[in-house]
Amino acid sequence: MRFLDWIKSLFSRPVSSPQIVGARAVEPTHQEMQTAMHRLNELAKTAILGEIGGSKPQKENRATSWWGGNFLGAQDEEVPVCNRSGQMMHPVLQIRVDELPEIPPAFEGLALINIWMDLQSSTFWGAENGNGFLVRTYTDVRNLVPLGGGYRESSDLPTFPVFWRETIAEKPSWEDMAGEVPTNVARASANDWFFSSKHSSDRYHELRSKYPVKIGGWPTWIQGSNWPKDAQFFFQVDSTDKGKMSLGDAGSFYIFKTSDSWVIRGDCY
């Protein structure tokens, strides 16, 4: 079974809203609502949105952000091989950090980030680095050399430059937010303060549907929060027709950094 078909079957459970159980709900006070809204604004983070293609590529310039190939690597590195399958991985996304309009704190000190994937894997979803996917980082682009296929040398994924188009303020998902607000607010049936906040504007949803690569911000979970323990969120890739990546039913994958490794999570409808 190809890994994309396996992902879809894995996440076929129905979507459900988070439930908070316990004592009967009590109407939150005005002060509690103000506390919740203030905390929401505090937790909002900047997300940087990337477009796959959209402008003329510099085909010979590997020292930029790319989708599907044209990667760089260290002189002693080879194309990575999946620890579990033994298959060679494919270049998926290269991020040149100094091209970002704003550098998230987690990216400080990094110059280039690459993610490779075993496109045939059925075991990597929810895995650690090296099992079905691999993240490599570099602190300097100097002395890096071409690694893997060049511009459109592979039919597995198209090769496009990635352009960083927009920055937006992004709120956490409700499941990541509910523990941050007063209990009476979390239990209340009225939730417009959250789902209709300024961070849920029409422009936000329009941009998120237009640009499939997102750096920073929060993971936009589909079926519920699945945050790895003691991990920091780095970036997200959504299913993309142009990039020829269909992650289950309109799904996404999320890359997290732990203290000593990288972790991937996936989600779809």
Name the band, by pLDDT with cuts 50, 70 and 90, for residue 1. Answer: very low
Does residue 124 belong to any structural domain of this protein? yes
Q: What is the CATH number of the domain that holds 104?
A: 2.30.320.10
168 inside domain: no
Number of separate domains in the chain: 1
DSSP assignment, residue 15?
A: P
Whether 204 is in a domain gets the answer no
- Quote the mean pLDDT of the chain: 88
Residue 54 lies in a domain: yes
CA-to-CA separations, 148 to 16, 81, 90, in angstroms, rounded: 42, 12, 8
CA nearest neighbour of 188 among 16, 29, 4: 29
Residue 173 belongs to some domain of the structure: no
- Judged by DSSP in three states, 33 sits in helix
Question: 164 or 222: which carries more pLDDT confidence?
Answer: 164
> How many other CB atoms are there within 10 angstroms of residue 47's CB atom?
24
Task: Answer yes or no: are the C-beta atoms of 73 and 134 closer than 8 Å.
Answer: no
Domain range enclosing 114: 3-14+50-162+210-267
What would the pLDDT profile of 163-218 be if each residue is shown by its tens digit? 999 999 999 999 999 899 999 999 998 889 999 898 888 899 999 999 999 999 99
Residues with Cβ < 8 Å from 134, sequence gap 6 or more? Answer: 80, 89, 115, 116, 117
Q: What are phi and psi of 205, to 5 degrees?
A: -65, -35
- Span 63-120, pLDDT tens digits: 999 999 999 999 999 999 999 889 999 999 999 999 999 999 999 999 999 999 998 8
Left, alpha or beta for 202 (phi > 0: left; psi -120 to 50: alpha)? Answer: alpha
Instruction: Answer yes or no: is 65 within a domain.
Output: yes
**22 in any annotated domain:** no
Residue 96 lies in a domain: yes
Is pTM beyond 0.75? Reply is yes
Taking only the tens place, the pLDDT of each residue in 108-161 is 999 999 999 998 876 656 788 999 999 999 999 999 999 999 999 998 999 999
Report the candidate in 117, 182, 111 with the shortest Cα–Cα distance to residue 148.
117
